[in-house]
Amino acid sequence: MDIKECGEFGLIDLIKENCIVEPKSVAVGIGDDAAVLIPTHNMLQLVSADMLVEGVHFDLSFISPFQLGYKSLAVNLSDIAAMGGIPKHVVLSIALPKKINVDFVKELYRGMKNIAQSFCVNIVGGDTVSTHDKIVINVTVLGEVEPEKLQKRNGAKPGDFIVVTGTLGDSAAGLDILLNKKDNFDFAEPLIKAHLMPFPQVELGRIIAKYASSMNDISDGLASEAKEIALASSVDVMLDAGKVPFSTELLQRANFFRKTPLEYALFGGEDYQLLFTISKEKYILLQKELSNCNIKVVGEVKQGTGNVFLKEYNGKFVNLEPKGYNHFR
Amino acid sequence: MDIKECGEFGLIDLIKENCIVEPKSVAVGIGDDAAVLIPTHNMLQLVSADMLVEGVHFDLSFISPFQLGYKSLAVNLSDIAAMGGIPKHVVLSIALPKKINVDFVKELYRGMKNIAQSFCVNIVGGDTVSTHDKIVINVTVLGEVEPEKLQKRNGAKPGDFIVVTGTLGDSAAGLDILLNKKDNFDFAEPLIKAHLMPFPQVELGRIIAKYASSMNDISDGLASEAKEIALASSVDVMLDAGKVPFSTELLQRANFFRKTPLEYALFGGEDYQLLFTISKEKYILLQKELSNCNIKVVGEVKQGTGNVFLKEYNGKFVNLEPKGYNHFR
């Protein structure tokens, strides 16, 4: 059955099930002119949106509808994580070609509901419309954060460490593998998974938010995200190439595409790890609280005017002008 | 200059100005991973989204970019009005072809900012992405409402009046004129304006919300909206053809397209007037408060099971199965 036969209301019925996983904060979910939510007293409200266009942001020849649904929510939850917040609700707008199969739509929503349930996030509304062209998905995420835990980009101070929550470059290498269909997919599976089903670091973000001075999620590559912090905080960020963490899989495969792991990390993007700055004293406290977690200092904050310098493997410093991910590339 | 030369960050700079008109409720606007908002104590939060696709929901051959920007916000503000709420913030996601002219984008945002400012609504964030296809606009609106003023669809009671806030059918007739390019545009101007620049009834909605038992905005035609109230409230709605208010322009021009004013009102859609139910006692109070305002009783609520009946001009009743606006038409 294609979606045209199903109709908008048939589609809403199909979607409506299992959307509310945390009902205490929802007075009215899908089905009225607007959803009605009950905000938590004394919390700030967070809101962010991402639009994904078929052929620009995803390619259905290598992402399944389940993965697409999962990922389109994941990248939004990551934005809330980057503020130190708790994602609470999402609003989903989707433009679908009339001839698309209903099973595709079911799988898309299954992916969305899968990650929404894992993170206790309610799907409270949205819009489903037809298009003559490619699929477009817009996710708006609403979250909450305590005022004292709010993490912005502008709080980095000279002397702070700059730290990442996990290995970088995997996602971009996974994309190269998918685009070129060149590698043995089984061996490269962790890289491909990093690209197709990124894991938003919400839980870590909540802990880090107690100690950090600024935070970003790494959607556009380490260089670009460090630059945003440097500019917003009016400091310089000194990254140390020797300290950037890589996965074994990336180290084994980066060369395949004549790129270095460092290039993938700096300019690749879509890792959705967190990048944050923190005073050296608070870093010790954070390490204690996290114990087994692989956070990694990748550099330091200096007085400056918004530059990002990279200490290369040979010890020389270069000024990085991020040339990474650009929506209008 | 086309948008590709401008780049995403150039575009954000272009957009950023005059976005915050009510700064008290915004801790962080455009420019971080998420906007940070300060909710009003004891208010419920409202959220709604609408996606508009070029070629499906709008046609650039007859809507200007300014009007498109205006309208894409207007339809969302109307959803908040329908809940009895105050629109507070919008989040805008826009997919634009790379070759689109920057002036087009400026005009689009000028239209958005024009209506946002009129209604004291902040533009707090969003996403601007490229597409190989048609323009797609998604607006998510956030609003607030006092719990006691919240209007849902499910509160209509037998004995209530069903009431509209203004003339119906104008917008759909305006669309017919635009599509067929048949009429003298000057004379039909009020109909065309009703279609291209609908006025969301936020202020009226706030007053009505003190008295009404249920409310909807008329986005999909009177028949369809009445049906939603009837179904949600488990009542029947009896509409009286003789009481539906029409503009002089519609009365003069409906015949041009071999339709009656009533057909436009029932099945046309996009009027963005409010449709509400109210007890007869409270209707008297509401009339006193509104004095000069043209609200109009169009029928009555009866015990029932979700049907909408129309009392035709000849006095006969027919059961209306709304055949109006459908996104998957």
From chain A, the residues in CB contact with B28 under 8 A are 152
Q: What are the C-alpha distances in Å from B276 to residues A209, A287, B294?
A: 46, 58, 14
- Reported as a single tens digit per residue, the pLDDT across A266-276 is 999 999 999 99
From chain A, the residues in CB contact with B130 under 8 A are 53, 56, 327-328
pLDDT at position A327: 32
The CATH fold of domain A3-149: 60s Ribosomal Protein L30; Chain: A; (3.30.1330)
Residue A15: which pLDDT band, with cuts at 50, 70 and 90? confident
Structure tokens at A201: 């670091």
- How many C-beta atoms lie closer than 10 Å to residue A27's C-beta? 17
8 Å CB contact of A37 and B56: no
- Reported as a single tens digit per residue, the pLDDT across A46-57 is 999 999 999 999
Q: Cα separation of B147 and B45, whole Å?
A: 10
Q: Does B57 reach chain A within 8 Å, measured CB to CB?
A: yes
Q: Are A160 and A279 in contact (CB under 8 A)?
A: yes
Quote the minimal CA–CA distance from B100 to chain A in Å. Answer: 12
* DSSP label at residue A221: -
Residue with tokens 């004013």: B261
Q: List Cβ<8 Å contacts ≥24 apart for B24-31.
A: B25/B88, B25/B89, B25/B122, B26/B89, B26/B122, B26/B124, B27/A44, B27/A150, B28/A152, B29/B122, B29/B123, B29/B124, B29/B125, B30/B123, B30/B124, B30/B125, B30/B126, B31/A232
The SS3 of residue A165 is coil
8 Å CB contact of B35 and A44: no
- Which of A140, A137, A3, A173 has its CA nearest to residue A58? A137
* A125, A129, A150 member nearest B53 (Cβ): A129
pLDDT at position A325: 35
Give Cα B125 to chain centroid, integer Å.
21
- Chain B: residue whose CA lies nearest to A326: B8
pLDDT at position A152: 94
Q: Which of residues 78-117 of A touch B (CB under 8 A)?
A: 79-80, 82-83, 85, 89, 91-95, 98
What separation, in Å, do the N-terminal and C-terminal C-alpha atoms of chain A show? 37
The SS3 of residue A113 is helix
Given this chain, do its domains B3-149 and B161-319 carry the same CATH topology? no
* Domain residue extents for chain B: 3-149, 161-319
pLDDT at position A28: 87
ipTM above 0.85, yes or no: yes
Residue A215: which region, alpha, beta or left (left: phi > 0; alpha: psi -120 to 50)? Answer: beta
Q: Cα separation of A208 and A77, whole Å?
A: 16
* A37, A93, A132 member nearest B138 (Cβ): A93
- Which of B171, B82, B76, B63 has its CA nearest to residue B119? B76
Q: Does B51 reach chain A within 8 Å, measured CB to CB?
A: yes
* B3, B34, B93 member nearest A143 (Cβ): B34
pLDDT at position B324: 40
pLDDT mean across residues, chain A: 91
Residues of chain B short of pLDDT 70, as ranges, are 4, 6-9, 182-187, 322-329
Q: Are A145 and A83 in contact (CB under 8 A)?
A: yes
Q: Is B126 annotated as contributing to ligand binding?
A: yes
pLDDT at position B326: 36
pLDDT at position B183: 55
Q: Does A48 reach chain B within 8 Å, measured CB to CB?
A: yes
Q: Is A100's pLDDT higher than 70?
A: yes
- Reported as a single tens digit per residue, the pLDDT across A206-259 is 999 999 999 999 999 999 999 999 999 999 999 999 999 999 999 988 888 889
Residue A326: which pLDDT band, with cuts at 50, 70 and 90? very low
Q: Does B148 reach chain A within 8 Å, measured CB to CB?
A: no
Residue A30: which pLDDT band, with cuts at 50, 70 and 90? confident
Q: Is A8's pLDDT higher than 70?
A: no
- How many C-beta atoms lie closer than 10 Å to residue B173's C-beta? 31
What's the CATH code, domain A161-319?
3.90.650.10
Q: Is A7's pLDDT higher than 70?
A: no
Q: Does A201 reach chain B within 8 Å, measured CB to CB?
A: no
Q: Does B131 reach chain A within 8 Å, measured CB to CB?
A: yes
pLDDT at position B45: 97
